[in-house]
Amino acid sequence: MTHLKPLASAIALATTALFASAAHADDQTLDFGVPAWPGITVKTAIAEQLLNPLGYETSTQEIGLQVIYQGIESGDIDAFLGAWLPAQREMFDPRKESGVLIDVANNVDGAQMTLAVPEYLHESGIQSFADLDENRDQFDGKIYGFGAGSAASEILHNAIDNDTWGLGDWQVVDTSEVGMLSAARDAISGKNRLSGSAGRPTG
């Protein structure tokens, strides 16, 4: 069985649980914002199972990351269990400083955001971000991300804009996490070349 292998360069992250401040809560239902990330979906489902027997009414809204932060500000979202820091600082910090949200606790420490390639490519010598551009033709100059507006997508777009690791002429293909993993599965089954965003752990 072939697995995805992370590349050497990575960004250290922590995943934080946050709540909207009481002043922004608009009703008695605890509304969770949930992006299309399986790890956050599972965490949110567990939180709901713990809260419901205690008498809390909960609901989930499956929406994009930027919409979640906007919802926290407007009072439409009360809780979010997937604030990856420091990757989401631009959305997180101003709202924390203004009192819109409360940083409750880290629920994952020592996570990493990086790129991953199939194991057979890693074994062939593609083991760092710097190795990608040397093998650009094998990847068709594309990196698969998991969601426009996500922290991973923003980091990748910034790397391309700044020609970091020689990626200036590469393209980010923004898709969902499910879509990215599907592309990875198809590439692995055909021994094709693919590079995609990855987290360790992802949720």
Q: What is the CATH number of domain 14-110?
A: 3.10.105.10
pLDDT on residue 118 = 81
Nearest to 120, CA basis, from 194, 196, 200: 194
Assign 145 a pLDDT band (cuts: 50, 70, 90).
Answer: confident
**pLDDT tens figures, 8-36:** 544 444 556 666 665 445 568 899 999 88
**pLDDT tens figures, 79-131:** 999 888 777 888 899 999 999 888 887 777 776 777 888 888 888 898 888 89
Locate the domains of the chain by residue range. Answer: 4-11+111-200, 14-110
**pLDDT tens figures, 147-189:** 666 667 778 888 899 999 999 999 988 877 777 777 777 767 6
For residue 36, give both structure tokens. Answer: 């299309």
CATH 3.40.50.10470, domain 4-11+111-200, yes or no? no
DSSP class of residue 2 equals -
pLDDT on residue 179 = 74
Nearest to 27, CA basis, from 78, 68, 72, 73: 78
Which residue, chain included where needed, has tokens 């009192």?
99
Tell me the mean pLDDT in the region 39-46: 90
Name beta bridge partners: 143.
172
